[in-house]
């Protein structure tokens, strides 16, 4: 693998990086700066959109520029260019915010919540947004690592505070998860953050505190490690026209004296691996806002 670009954006908490094939661009959010980014692949032109709340994760829809969004307080349809927002559900209480999220292969949007106040540790939940808002897991502290196997048979999810990535059997027809089992665990001081699976079914995980991305085989075996110049990688995606570039966000938050000069940058690696396209959220599933 070869690091071919470092986009110096100085993100406080870069997250939820996604490749949009429709616009041939990379999208990600700096949660704490309330800023959404779009990077044009060919020109490297960078656009910034200010968000009405901290934008924690999102997915694409069939309408260009319109996202299904997990803001700090809830779910909404968000038009990035205009700033228009339609709230769907705001189920959280103070001390808890939404975090990692992704659209599944059937077009449902999943996002987990996390405790910002230590007094609420263990009160996080995993939500699935379809024709209603459904709770799939509870008792969480920092939800992360949402992704699926290429065939949709397996669902992956982590509680970073537990340093554990779990694998569940996934019912693609209903969105039900079952048969929870440990998939991988990280060493002390290394937190599993955002993940993505490649076309071969291997899981790539950004590992906060270790300055690396880990690739795990479908059986949970550690296959390889990719070192980064930044200490706190946060999320990973495959992008580029051939889906053969690994794209990694990172964070400066919490680093003494601002950390290294590249902390908070976006990193682009050329790889010999292939990723999978992102599924668009099916907005027709929403009949009316959910109370």
Question: Can you identify the CATH homologous superfamily of domain 2-285?
Answer: TolB, C-terminal domain (2.120.10.30)
Model confidence at 260, pLDDT cuts 50, 70, 90, reads confident
- At residue 291, does pLDDT exceed 80? no
Span 237-263, mean pLDDT? 91
Q: Which of 96, 152, 83, 151 is nearest to 127 (CA)?
A: 96
Span 276-281, mean pLDDT? 97
- At residue 289, does pLDDT exceed 70? no
- At residue 244, does pLDDT exceed 50? yes
pLDDT tens per residue across span 177-236: 999 999 999 999 999 999 999 999 999 999 999 999 999 999 999 999 999 999 999 999
- At residue 98, does pLDDT exceed 90? yes
- Say how far apart CA 154 and CA 145 lie, in whole Å: 13
More confident residue, 268 or 289: 268
- At residue 18, does pLDDT exceed 50? yes
User: What's the whole-number average pLDDT of the chain?
Assistant: 95
Span 259-268, mean pLDDT? 90
Model confidence at 287, pLDDT cuts 50, 70, 90, reads very low
pLDDT at position 261, please?
A: 86
Q: Which of 177, 168, 202, 167 is nearest to 274 (CA)?
A: 202
SS (H, E, C) the chain: CEEEEEECCCCCEEEEEEEECCCCEEEEEECCCCEEEEEECCCCCEEEEECCCCEEEEEEECCCCEEEEEECCCEEEEECCCCCEEEEECCCCCCEEEEEEEECCCCCEEEEEEECCHHHCCCEEEEEECCCEEEEEEEECEEEEEEECCCCCEEEEEEHHHCEEEEEEECCCCCCEEEEEEEEECCCCCEEEEEEECCCCCEEEEEECCCEEEEECCCCCEEEEEECCCCCEEEEEEECCCCCEEEEEEECCCCHHHCCCCCCCEEEEECCCCCCCCCCECHHHCCCCCC
- At residue 286, does pLDDT exceed 80? no
Model confidence at 258, pLDDT cuts 50, 70, 90, reads low
- At residue 288, does pLDDT exceed 50? no
Model confidence at 131, pLDDT cuts 50, 70, 90, reads confident
């Amino acid at each position: 693998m070869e690091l071919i670009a470092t986009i110096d954006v100085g993100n406080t908490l870069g997250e939820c990086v996604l490749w949009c094939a429709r616009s041939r661009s990379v999208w990600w959010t700096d949660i704490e700066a309330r800023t959404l980014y779009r990077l044009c692949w060919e020109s490297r032109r960078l656009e910034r959109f200010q968000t009405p709340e901290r934008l924690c994760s999102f997915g694409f829809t069939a309408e260009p520029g319109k996202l299904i969004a997990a803001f700090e307080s809830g779910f909404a349809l968000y038009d990035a260019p205009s700033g228009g927002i339609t709230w769907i559900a705001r189920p959280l209480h103070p001390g808890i915010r939404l975090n990692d999220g992704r659209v599944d292969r059937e077009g449902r949007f999943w996002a987990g919540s996390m405790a910002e106040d230590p007094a609420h540790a263990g009160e996080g939940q995993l939500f699935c947004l379809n024709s209603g808002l459904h709770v799939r897991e509870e008792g969480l502290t920092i939800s992360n690592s949402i992704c699926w196997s290429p065939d949709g048979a397996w669902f992956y999810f982590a509680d970073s505070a537990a340093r554990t990535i779990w694998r569940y059997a996934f019912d693609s027809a209903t969105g039900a998860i079952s048969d929870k089992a440990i998939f991988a665990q990280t060493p002390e001081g290394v937190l599993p953050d955002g993940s993505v699976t490649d076309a071969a079914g291997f899981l790539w995980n950004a590992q906060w505190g270790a300055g690396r991305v880990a690739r795990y085989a479908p059986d949970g075996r550690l296959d390889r490690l990719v070192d980064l110049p930044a200490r706190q990688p946060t999320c990973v995606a495959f992008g580029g026209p051939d889906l053969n570039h690994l794209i990694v966000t990172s964070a400066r938050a919490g680093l003494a004296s601002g950390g290294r000069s590249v902390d908070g940058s976006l990193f682009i690696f050329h790889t010999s691996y292939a990723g999978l396209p992102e599924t668009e959220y099916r907005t027709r599933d929403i009949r009316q806002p959910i109370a």
